[in-house]
Structure 1
Amino acid sequence: MGQIEHVIAIPSAEELIARAQAMIPALREQAEAVEEARSVPAATIQAFKDAGFFRILQPTRWGGYAMSPEVFYRVLMELGRGCPSSAWNLMILGIHQWEFGKFDQRAGDEVWGADPDILVASSYAPCAKVRKVEGGWMISGQWPTSSGSEHAVGGAFLGGRVLDEQGNIVDVRAFLVRREDYELIDDWYAVGLAGTGSRSLRLLGETFVPAHRSHSIVEYKLGDTVASYRLPFNQIFYGSVSAVIIGFANGMVDLFVEHMVPRQNVFVTGSPAQNPFVQEKLGNAVLLIRSARARVLQCIQESMGYAERGQLVPLDQRVHYFLDNQAVARDCFSAAHMIFKKSSARGVFLRNPLQRQLRALLVAANHITQNEDDTSAMLGGFLLGQGVPPGVFELPQLQ
């Protein structure tokens, strides 16, 4: 296929963030209905498209802005304040545009050649049964929790391990399959983020994936591309999850302040806003959230600095960045729980949106990208000279 270039006007990062902030009231208003429907409305996905959010990370070849992931993170931090499920869908469906920047261009041409607004779903859990064949791969299997998959007509990235003859893992790859190759299973009934439509996905049979539609998700090397696509896959994906979680937590702070400022005590005179214990919990909660936000932004800013200088992000820094991102949900959930306790019995009613933000944080904290326990041990082991487990940052060196 020949060269594809879409000439567009690129908004500034500040304009994109302002658009996200302007959407918060409408997103908040629809959040309950989104959970009840267990799906984000097509109109919301279209509004995100119209705002340019799906183009932030998309390569310019297909009409994107090719911006730093930091811009995407900042947009997610705002949208998460409104409707957690809607923001989560943007996060999952929007990060794939960045992935195409690290990919063989033929894959992007096939997906976006006729329509650069087409979306692609994913489930990176390495569930595929994989075998190498001439010209590509044959895969089969079923994958869980493909968020926003009903909106993705361009197919899905599916994870799978590649084994050698002895059964050793030699690679973990993503395979881009076509929409007609799989079915969706409506099985997403969750305590939080209930509106994400995170259905299971099942291939209809063993499916051929051409070599140009697959890439390693653990291998990291410099490519001949712009700086934003020279960053490690896992770090950018994990950072996106962390960014939207920060939005959930800040949304809870917003709601808590709105509820508390006009509220009056029942048993004594005065307002909870005058209570030093309420003030202390709120102050410490905000500190935790701001600290998490600062870590996420520092990680991406430092990483972009390496990429812009034509360097790989050093392994010793990547180990720190991994934990910096993975501890975000722990900190944000702790912050949210602090202020939820101070909302008293009013906070437990389903009509109170505070509980929706808390439940979203509870579920997000269980995402694999937020496994701070294992990652803390990994960082400690690395600092003590024990190295990094193979497959986390680089391919294992088999003996």
Structure 2
Amino acid sequence: MSLEQSSIRDAAIKAPGRRSPAANAPSLESLVSTARALVPRLRERGQQTEIERRVSEETNQLFHRAGFFRLMQPARYGGYEYGFTALLDVISEIGRGCTSSAWACSLGTIHQWLLGLFPAQAQDDVWGKNPRAIMCGSYSPITAAEAVDGGYLIRGKWRFASNVDNSPWAVLGVQLPEENGAGFLLAPRCDWSIEDDWHVAGQAGTGSKTVVIDKPTFVPGHRKLTFAEAASGAPPGAAVNPNPLYSIPFLSAIPVCLVAPLLGTAQGAIDAFVELCENRVTRGGIGGAGARLGQFAHVQSRLADAAAAVDAARLVLDRDITDVELTAAQGRRVSVETRIRNRRGHAYAAKLSHSAVQALFSCVGGSSLALDQPVQRMWRDANAIAQHITLNWDAVSTMVGQHMLGLEPKGAY
């Protein structure tokens, strides 16, 4: 390991987010160890998760019992108040077993942090009677909220609400009238139904179905968080959750919840590929019959490509996330420059992770197409995540290039 890499990793290990201020919190090492122990079970259930098109209640309860959904939850509700660096460690480990399960766990976990930015009464609404409650979410503010006395009326459909089947609450993106901007509103399960429309080629097990509110439904005004508040460094929830974790502008760090499952998937693909190389003897329709897969030079080279890409992706994410956690812990504002750099890091780490899986899949042969072979599922899942607009390299790199050229950056940061 080079001096620069060593310095990055040493700083990342000491990141504020890898330490918990909560007296009841298990160590991060034990949480990561628990995640690692679940990998074989999650991999074994991977195909069934895909067939069922959702993460099972059983798996969701495993995540609850492991404490993963408490990872970033405010301590006053029994949470551990770990940060984004800890999220990366835990979720990337889960991703080695099942991408869809890691994605669902990651979204459920990050929404506990997001709820910590809301006003105190909104947090009480969700966690007051059930501190174990988690939320699904659909961020795109394509639906307009109507202002009424004491709150808002909303009606519409919100797509891509991952892990919706296991979520008693939903955080929904809306256009807010009085601020002439966008924000989030919180709705309990009794206010919405699920449209079972998640039939996809990748990430099939995430259960990212559509939340439907088919008649005007009231949401109290205190269950609102504007995008501007979430990005301000001083959201309403900071008044009751003084941990600097809750002052981090959300787009400078929240996309980690999307790239962490992909990083884990890339490492899981390496694991499965090495195992395949050790066990598979080629048939050699044209040549090479009887040779182990790992004896071919191009196979060895692709494995090295994948390992290097995963290593580089993790280093970039560790550096960027550690930086914003340290900045917040020191009471400083996260600059626009840093926020855009982090968006670049999120998307480029996703690109690297995706390329790692692509490199491996390109040389495993026809047997890898079997639906019970994890590499093909990881390949489809990786391609699906790479399509997410938040991680899409074309969209994010354009914004970064605009900023570097002194133009107004067009995008989310």
TM-score of the alignment, normalized to the shorter chain, above 0.5: yes
Q: Partner residue of 1:193?
A: 203
What is the match of residue 295 of structure 1? 316
Q: Is the 8 A contact 1:243 1:296 kept in 2?
A: no
Q: Map 1:335-350; keep pairs closer than 5 Å.
A: 335-350=356-371
Alignment check: 8 A CA contact 2:343 2:396 kept = yes
1:41-61 CA-to-partner distances (Å, cap 9, x unmatched) read: 111111101110000000001
Within 5 A, what are the aligned runs for 1:195-274?
195-219=205-229, 220-223=231-234, 224=238, 225-267=242-284, 268=288, 270-274=291-295
Query: Hey, what's the Cα distance between the residues in 2 that align with 1:358 and 1:234?
Result: 27
Unaligned runs of 5+ in 2: 1-21
For 1:74-116, what per-residue CA distance to the aligned partner results, in whole angstroms no more than 9, with x for missing partners? 1110001111111111011111100122111111111111221
Deviation of the 1:118 alpha carbon: 1.3
Query: What's the counterpart of residue 282 of structure 1?
Result: 303
1:115 to 130, 136, 152: 130
Q: Does 1:52 align with 2:75?
A: no
**Is contact 1:218–1:234 with CA below 8 Å preserved after alignment?**
no
Correspondences of 1:383-394 after superposition (within 5 Å): 383-389=404-410, 392-393=412-413
| Residue 84 (1) aligns with residue 103 (2) | no
Across the two proteins, how many residue pairs are aligned to each other? 381
Distance of 1:110 and 1:131 partners within structure 2: 21
The reply on whether 1:162 has 2:179 as its aligned counterpart is no
How far off its partner does 1:266 sit? 3.2
Partner of 1:369: helix, strand, or coil? Answer: coil
Q: Is 2:34 aligned against 1:24?
A: no
- Cα deviation for residue 383 of structure 1 reads 1.2
Task: Assess if the C-alpha contact under 8 Å between 1:181 and 1:204 holds in 2.
Answer: no
1:321 corresponds to which of 323, 336, 342: 342
Q: CA RMSD in A?
A: 1.7
> Per-residue displacement from partner, 1:2-30 (whole Å, max 9, x unpaired)?
xxxxx862111111101100000000111
1:9 correspondence with 2:24: yes
AA at the equivalent of 1:213: R
TM-score scaled by length of structure 2 = 0.88
Instruction: Answer yes or no: is the 8 Å Cα contact 2:147–2:177 preserved in 1.
Output: no
1:41-190 mapped onto 2 (5 Å cutoff): 41-153=56-168, 155-162=169-176, 170-190=180-200
Give the distance between the partners of 1:238 and 1:98, measured in 2 at CA: 13
The aligned amino acid for 2:103 is W
5+ residue gaps, structure 1, are: 1-6, 394-399
How far did 1:328 drift?
2.7
Work out the CA distance in 2 between the residues paired with 1:135 and 1:86.
Answer: 38
User: Cα distance, 1:138 vs. partner?
Assistant: 2.1
Secondary structure, aligned partner of 2:180: strand
Q: 2:394 aligns with which of 358, 373, 382?
A: 373
Larger deviation: 371-380 or 268-277?
268-277
C-alpha separation between the residues in 1 aligned to 2:154 and 2:164? 19
| Separation in 1, partners of 2:176, 2:393 | 26
| Aligned match for 1:382, one of 400, 403, 408 | 403
Per-residue Cα deviation, 1:147-199 (whole angstroms, up to 9, x for no partner): 1111112x2100012357xxxx9321011012111110011001011111111
Cα distance change, pair 163–112 in 1 and its aligned pair in 2 (3 A): closer
Q: Residue type of the partner of 1:156?
A: A
SS of the residue 1:173 aligns to = strand
**What is the CA deviation profile of residues 108-133 of structure 1, one whole-angstrom value per residue up to 9, with x for unaligned ones?**
11111122111211111112222223
Aligned to 2:13: none
1:263-305 Cα offsets, whole Å, 9 max, x none, are 3343435422122211111101111122112111211100001
The match for 2:16 is: none
User: 2 CA distance for matches of 1:64 and 1:180?
Assistant: 25
CA contact (8 A) 1:218 1:233 kept: no
Helix, strand or coil: the match of 1:141? strand
The 2-side partners of 1:244 and 1:109 are apart by: 30
Identity of aligned residues (%): 33
What TM-score, normalized by structure 1, do the two folds share? 0.91
Distance 1:309 1:8 in 2: 22
Q: Is the 8 A contact 2:369 2:376 kept in 1?
A: yes
Contact 2:138 2:158 in 1 (8 A): yes
The answer to whether the 8 A contact 1:217-1:234 is kept is no
SS at match of 2:406: coil
* 1:271–1:89 CA distance, 2 compared to 1 (3 A): same
- Cα pair distance change 1:75/1:192, threshold 3 Å: same
Secondary structure, aligned partner of 2:307: helix
CA distance in 2, matches of 1:63, 1:312: 28
Q: Distance in 2 between matches of 1:115 and 1:161?
A: 29
Partners of 2:248 and 2:32 in 1: how far apart? 23
1:324 alignment partner AA: G
Secondary structure of 2:390's match? helix
8 A contact 2:53–2:205 mirrored in 1: yes
